[in-house]
Amino acid sequence: MMQSGVPPCSTCGEPVGFDSNGEVFVACHECNFPICKSCFDYEIKEGRKVCLRCSTPYDESTTMPDVETNQSSNHSTMASHLSNAQDVGIHARHVSTVSTVDSELNDDSGNPIWKNRVESWKDKKSKKKKATSKAKAEVPPEQQMEEKQSADASLPLSEVIPLPRNKLSPYRCVIVMRLIILALFFHYRVTNPVDSAYGLWLTSIICEIWFAVSWVLDQFPKWTPINRETYIDRLSARYEREGEPSELAAVDFFVSTVDPMKEPPLITANTVLSILAVDYPVDKVSCYVSDDGSAMLTFESLVETADFARKWVPFCKKFSIEPRAPEFYFSQKIDYLKDKIQPSFVKERRAMKRDYEEFKVRVNALVAKAQKTPEEGWTMQDGTAWPGNNPRDHPGMIQVFLGHTGAHDIEGNELPRLVYVSREKRPGYQHHKKAGAENALVRVSAVLTNAPFILNLDCDHYVNNSKAVREAMCFMMDPQVGPNVCYVQFPQRFDGIDRSDRYANRNTVFFDVNMKGLDGIQGPVYVGTGCVFNRQALYGYGPLNLPSLQKASSSSSSSCSWCGCCCCCCPSKKPSKDLSEVYRDSKRDDLNSAIFNLKEIDNYDEHERSMLISQRSFEKTFGLSSVFIESTLMENGGVPESANSPTLINEAIHVISCGYEEKTEWGKEIGWIYGSITEDILTGFKMQCRGWRSIYCMPLRPAFKGSAPINLSDRLHQVLRWALGSVEIFLSRHCPLWYGFGGGRLKWLQRMAYINTIVYPFTSLPLIAYCTLPAICLLTGKFIIPTLSNLASVWFLGLFISIILTSVLELRWSGVSIEDLWRNEQFWVIGGVSAHLFAVFQGFLKMVAGLDTNFTVTAKAAEDGDFGELYVIKWTTLLIPPTTLIIVNMVGVVAGFSDALNSGYEAWGPLFGKVFFAFWVILHLYPFLKGLMGRQNRTPTIVVLWSVLLASVFSLVWVKINPFVQKVDGSATVQTCISIDC
């Protein structure tokens, strides 16, 4: 009989009971995981001294051996069952934050379902042990010798290469020195106010403190940068033995597109072709194209792409060409005969180029046809109406091309599977934009192919390195590294950017400096494309080896959630939860005990399987699809052999229905996370909060390349979208400032980096104020800094030197050029005073007034001949603040010179500091001004700028000198006036 108010034990189902003080027994004071004393003592006896839920070490006072050693058989713990299951091949996966409402672990009698299966597990265990020992006895000596040699020859597939000490140590010393100088600088600034301009001084102090905090958030995550090296040859030697089927893991590619008018089908086709031609076993590759605009143009262009792939893929693999996107391969200005020794190459290349030109003509004809939509809507070749004529109200659509059962290439070889997917959309449903489309692809791919790894790409990011997948597998398939890796992120590289990279489109500083620093902590952030995921991480599971919290220095305290190391800064007096909270928490981890390897589950009959899997809790998490739920249990991927194609297609249509995600954990705890238009940052953050780590892979040949908006207005709108997403995360429950502290699995430097990614838009407020100060100082004749003493001059000089040294040493270990660093600095100001400012206001409007912002797809096409798109001026309100700042500061410089001319020589000293301050703003906004001026064949912008400034200054000087006007003696004039008797 269940005692009233006492929660049941999550292991044996009996009441947890009371301790010696008469209170409800609590083993873990961190999460109050309900477990009875008998099961708890069995855990301690087996050597498991951490909580099953949160991995917090048990208090020493609780773990004192004060009970009998022999435990009752009906009090065997769930962890021991999982341990036994692992011995016989059942793999229990850890689940961290996936939570459901009800628990289905108990049967009608109140006893756990697991308890009824212990005997069957023991029988299976003993049978498997006997079979294993018998099999080992029958292995011939020659095979044993080969296996031993293979084990001895196994080497790591990747290696961490730390930075040389002579580069890293000076870098860290300068950072610490800069921090000390910064503290002394602020001490001087705060203790020496400017009474004559107190408002300006206070504003500058607030701005400078915010900039200092932003610098700390950006700088310290770069404390431990690392490089990595992969060994593809070892990967092949281990998983691709001659004469045997390839054991490389399968990979599902995701390509997402929305509007074919802004994302040209030819660009998407090149991305798809580069995927189908990757250097990877064809039966291990599947490409899923998500058409979230349900455009018939996208579907028809994909039909043409599938047909052309039959010629293109064998050509790529025969001659090992790079890159394998035809548009970019044929446009290369290189010697294409280099390293090509086959005599037929030139002939076949010419024929292939001719075929590609014909393919382009067909695709462009489809685009031209789609410019005007018929009144009755689009119809397919068989005369039926296109189901997606209404992009906001249409059924789900799936079409499978190529693959094992589809068309083969011209040489008769199998091609990778290509799948067109357009999820169902109906009015009244939230579809969650790109994140919702990606989650639909996760479910479709799980039903049709269920590869253990997923690689997602934007439609304009083609595979530039055909061995990129193998590079990622060197981490994912490494038995030492892979089990704890949620994703492998590749840097983004771009084509079609102007030589000077005027608007910092390449983001070189972020990808070559910040991301390397994060890789030395807990891994890089997810940036939305060019990323290989572990499918299990997307399902909300935690890594196999959950990082445990460090032991506290006393039995009554746990690790500090801020510093993660000791209790000295945070005394641990955690209030105990009441019984209702304990009982509610006991309902949240049913998936911890319900997930097993499907290979073992296949040995059970249907009745045992239904008992083994808590079906209802899975449905509340993953949705009402038994086929999909079954696929989540297959850690190594694959689909059941008994499944037939029509059944799988019908199930795939079901899982992309618009109501499938209702009352499930999709977008909350599993898949791509909803709540922000920058779903990439949010998704990666949730994974790393569960204890996963990520890997940054930078092969010598860039893995993927894409296109970037080189037009000023488009670039600012892109930055606006990113910044708005960060503001949305800041205002949500997933804000890194307060989310994810309970588990203690996110390292504090990693958290600092995530905080920086969501607070950087707010820097726009102090930045625009700081950029206005020079003009105000020049117009009013006041300044934000008092007259400098010798000591103050030392602090200012030391601060400037430390800033320069930090940048120089950062360039030294990262390999980034000084031009890239300067462009990044310039666009930080340009974006800060325009896009980031608008993002802050739009984010608060969305929160307060519920005004949603429309997601604008960035145009992917550009005139890359002479960068014609670079000089196009598209009016947008984002141009107003930077333009205003430039004009105001130029007016301030002219007014400052005018005031100095009128005031005499003593005014020129203070003028120097003010003018330097104003020129700092103008130089940072110079690329913006250059963009406003238009094409290069006009008068250079710098000439116009200096002409205006110098003309104004010389005009003032001219007026002051008055060379053609006779000077009048002032004393004589006064004497004359006095002599006149009015």
Active site residues: 292, 680
Burial 742-778 (b: 16+ CB within 10 A, else e): ebbbbbbbbbbbbbbbbbbbbbbbbbbbbbbbbbbbb
Please state, in angstroms and rounded to a whole number, the distance separating the CA atoms of residues 490 and 261: 28
Tokens of 358: 């014909």
Please state, in angstroms and rounded to a whole number, the distance separating the CA atoms of residues 372 and 363: 16
Residue 694: strand, helix, or coil: strand
Please state, in angstroms and rounded to a whole number, the distance separating the CA atoms of residues 66 and 33: 20
Dihedral sign computed on CA atoms, order 915, 918, 923, 929: negative
Residue pointed to by tokens 């891994």: 523
Tokens of 635: 């850690």
CA 395 to chain centre: 31
Residue among 103, 85, 57 at smallest CA distance from 546: 57
| Alpha-carbon dihedral 759, 760, 763, 764, rounded to 10 degrees | -120
Measured from the Cβ of residue 734, the count of other Cβ atoms closer than 10 Å reads 21
β-pairing verdict for 531-534 and 453-458: antiparallel
Cβ-contact 902, 895 below 8 angstroms: no
Cβ-contact 430, 226 below 8 angstroms: no
Please state, in angstroms and rounded to a whole number, the distance separating the CA atoms of residues 473 and 963: 79
Measured from the Cβ of residue 206, the count of other Cβ atoms closer than 10 Å reads 14
Residue among 186, 327, 21, 299 at smallest CA distance from 785: 186
β-pairing verdict for 485-489 and 453-458: unpaired
Please state, in angstroms and rounded to a whole number, the distance separating the CA atoms of residues 836 and 832: 5
Cβ-contact 842, 936 below 8 angstroms: no
Please state, in angstroms and rounded to a whole number, the distance separating the CA atoms of residues 388 and 397: 8
Amino acid code (one letter) for 751: R
φ/ψ (deg, to 5) at 419: -130, 125
Q: Does residue 245 have a cis bond before it (omega within 30 degrees)?
A: no
Residue among 36, 51, 45 at smallest CA distance from 64: 45
Residue among 472, 487, 489 at smallest CA distance from 249: 472
- Spell out where 292-336 has E strands: none
